[in-house]
Amino acid sequence: MELCVMGNCAIVAADESGYICAIQPSQELWRINLNNLAINKGPSEKAIVTSLLCADLTTPSGEVCSYILAADNRKHLLVVNQGEVVMTINTPDVVTAMCSGAFIDAERLDTGGETTQTKNTTQKVGNYDTPDWIRTMDIMYTSGERKPQIVIGCLNNSVQGLSLLEGSS
């Protein structure tokens, strides 16, 4: 979901042909074909979008704007705003999962005896071994109790849920 300039929400999706588009129920707002971008110099494989993330980032002028971060199979991370690629970053490897949010201390994770891995900007605070490469990650709230869980989807189609422990600070 992307928040547009007018404050409306748009659904942003991508496909294996390298297209990223933003839509509302009544119209397509914008569409980008990664295979047509100037970053693709010389013969190369077809671009495939491997991960998308909507993130609210602060501009140099201090304004908070909604951006789409799009990763592809050619080791690029594209920063998109309102259908325009505003920055392209080369990554050391293919990005397959992205998440945003605040990270917490490992003592607050209930993993049923497993190890967990969460990091902040300066130190490792825990770890969690997954059965395969992580494909997606999100925060989910259980119905009724509204307790947050970290949900991890892996390439082997397994889904892992990590609950927060009560009373930890």
Q: What is the pLDDT of residues 51-76, one digit of tens each?
A: 999 888 777 888 888 889 999 999 99
Q: Is residue 147 part of a domain?
A: yes
Structure tokens at 48: 């495939």
Instruction: Say which residue the tokens 């990763």 belong to.
Output: 71
Structure tokens at 45: 């494989």
Taking the chain, what is the end-to-end CA distance rounded to the nearest angstrom? 31
Residues 68 and 137 in one domain: no
Query: Is 96 exposed, middle or buried, given 0-12, 13-18 or 19+ CB atoms closer than 10 A?
Result: middle
Nearest to 11 by CA among 3, 86, 140: 3
Mean pLDDT for 46-55 is: 90
In this predicted structure, the answer to whether residue 23 has a pLDDT above a threshold of 80 is: yes
Per the structure, the count of domains in the chain is 2
In the predicted model, what is the mean pLDDT of the chain?
77
Q: How far apart are CA 58 and CA 81, in angstroms?
A: 12
pLDDT tens digits, one per residue of 135-149: 777 777 666 666 777
Q: Is residue 81 part of a domain?
A: yes
Highest mean predicted confidence (pLDDT) among 11-15, 74-78, 138-142, 162-166: 74-78
Residues 139 and 81 in one domain: no
pLDDT of residue 133: 83
Residues 53 and 126 in one domain: no
Structure tokens at 15: 């496909």
In this predicted structure, the answer to whether residue 121 has a pLDDT above a threshold of 70 is: no
Q: Cα separations (Å) of 107 from 101, 104, 114, 147, 169?
A: 18, 8, 12, 16, 8
pTM here is: 0.58
Which structural domain, as residue segments, surrounds residue 159? 106-164
Mean pLDDT for 118-129 is: 59
